[in-house]
Amino acid sequence: PEMAVINARVLPTPKISYHPSSQEATFAPAGGAWNLRGKKVAQGANLGSWSVVNFAGNVPPPAINNFIRELCRTFIDTGLNVVNRQPPIMNADPNGNIDRTLKEAWLKAGNAAKANPQLILCILPNTGTQLYAEIKRISDTVIGVATQCVQSKHIADAKKQYCANVCLKVNVKLGGMNLFLSPEQIPFISQVPTIVFGADVTHPAPGDMNRPSVAALCASMDARASRYASAIRVQANRTEIIADLANMVKELLKTFYQATGQKPARMIFYRDGVSEGQFKQVMDSEVAAIRAACASLDPKYNPKITFVVVQKRHHARFFPIQPRDADRTGNCQPGTVIDTDIVHPFEFDFYLQSHAGLQGTSRPTHYHVLYDENEFTADSLQELTYRMCYIYGRATRAVSLVPAAYYADLVAARARFHRRNENWSDTEATSESQDSEAQLASFAVVKPELTKVMYFM
């Protein structure tokens, strides 16, 4: 069969901003990707109290010292303030008591710096998920400290590019900001206090009727929609509607108020993880929950809500007719929007391919506006959504999914590691036949101080 020919537009590339002292502080990246050369992060965090745990027995101490030196150099070049360049380093058994190891590392960091520990850097043997999961469970839910894991295979080379990628993650975990869009690029968010939510529900593997589903909510915390806070709930297996959404929204509205001193007058809610048949149910239930959250804070508080369902799992693919319109992988250029021929005739929806393909066929993201009190035009919502794709914190490229939703996916994925006594090497799809109450209870809760920073990066 012939492919259908449809109309598409390519949105203009936004200008992104790094620290004013950068060589090119504000620029429009060509082709949806750029690099950090000569750039400093917009807000560099202070790194003073930290320690290193080596779980990989085969890495010689000089290699570790060299890696830490390179890492610190990159941190400083990229605009972080590294107060302590010689963190305590300890060796640990990957099969030992991880809880005890990390608590010891936490104490070592605090004692060396005489300050509250900010980060534990963990060097992992190049092995499976078990150790990583255990480190994240303990640091996120027991101790409440950011951790950065690096695989031992990267230690010897200490490549600049690798160190720069680690740097972006660490800066955000410590409360810094890597890049942002200047206010005139995102008037909808900068002119009036506006909060951007991203939500996702992830379900366990097919056939697993025991483990719960995880609902994650992220929300922007500044006028730049660059920094986010998060909330997680576990709920009954395979339920699509977020059961405790009202309380999650309330929590994050309070955090927004603490961070900005303002109540958001507008909300835009990007919701991932909804199947086609559930659109109406999810929207009715969740918009009502958002309203209830607002009313519980103040009966007169009634912000304008826009509710957008985000889908990556669909079968539409787009190819440029003329090779000159393609990027180097043969895909459409970043910023390609399709909103005329194959979309819903009277509902408000569009396909947006916001990212540059790395390889293979790029999959555009489908955005479906189910409810809109902010009276967006198609152009204004497409442009806002596309621009935000340029400020995903841990990349130097535009991403395929609006960051609020992307972060919610990361938070939900991370929550899977918070289950106590999970056997990660187990290939069985079915988990122990605990009842659903016990299953829900087996998830540990993230420490409140971490929910206000982007620990999940």
Q: Would you state the pLDDT for residue 326?
A: 78
Q: Which residue has the tokens 């449809």?
A: 6
For residue 314, give the nearest of 285, 334, 343, 287 by alpha carbon. Answer: 343
List helix spans (H) across 28-117. 61-77, 98-113
Pick the CATH number of 180-451 from 3.30.420.10, 3.20.20.10, 3.60.21.10, 3.30.1330.10: 3.30.420.10
Q: Would you state the pLDDT for residue 427?
A: 54
Rounded to 10 deg, the angle between the 160-173 and 61-77 helix axes is: 70
Q: Does domain 44-173 have CATH number 3.40.50.720?
A: no
For residue 286, give the nearest of 230, 352, 239 by alpha carbon. Answer: 239
Read out DSSP for 295-316?
A: HHH-TT---EEEEEEEE--S--
Read out DSSP for 371-416?
A: EESS---HHHHHHHHHHHTT--TT-SB--SS-HHHHHHHHHHHHHG
- φ/ψ bin of 59: left (φ > 0), alpha (ψ from -120 to 50), beta (otherwise): beta
- Beta partners for 43? 177
Q: How big is the CA angle at 398 (ends 314 and 389), to the nearest 5 degrees?
A: 70
Q: Would you state the pLDDT for residue 379?
A: 93
Q: Would you state the pLDDT for residue 132?
A: 96
Number of Cβ within a 10 Å radius of residue 134: 19
| End-to-end CA separation in angstroms for the chain | 43
Task: From first to last of the 457 residues of the chain, give the pLDDT tens digit.
Answer: 677 777 888 999 999 999 999 999 999 999 999 999 999 999 999 999 999 999 998 899 999 999 999 999 999 999 999 999 999 999 999 999 999 999 999 999 999 999 999 999 999 998 778 999 999 999 999 999 999 999 999 999 999 999 999 999 999 999 999 999 999 999 999 999 999 999 999 999 888 888 899 999 999 999 999 999 999 999 999 999 999 999 999 999 999 999 999 999 999 999 999 988 999 999 999 999 999 999 999 999 999 999 999 998 777 777 777 777 778 777 888 889 988 766 665 578 999 989 887 677 778 999 999 999 999 999 999 999 999 999 999 999 999 999 999 999 999 999 999 998 887 766 554 555 567 778 888 899 999 999 999 999 9
Tokens of 356: 């540059």
For residue 376, give the nearest of 238, 194, 156 by alpha carbon. Answer: 194
Q: Would you state the pLDDT for residue 344?
A: 66
Residues of the chain with CATH 3.40.50.2300: 44-173
What strands lie across the sheet with 26-27, from one edge to the other?
Answer: 26-27, 16-17, 180-181
CA distance 338 to 311: 14
Tokens of 104: 């010891």
Burial bucket for residue 45 (CB in 10 Å: 0-12, 13-18, 19+)? buried
Q: Which amino acid is at 158?
A: A
DSSP 3-state assignment of 358? coil
Q: Would you state the pLDDT for residue 145?
A: 98
Residues of the chain with CATH 3.30.420.10: 180-451
CA distance 68 to 70: 5
CA distances from 322 to 151, 313, 364 (A): 43, 27, 19
Asked if residue 50 lies in contact with residue 68, where contact means CB atoms within 8 angstroms, the answer is: no
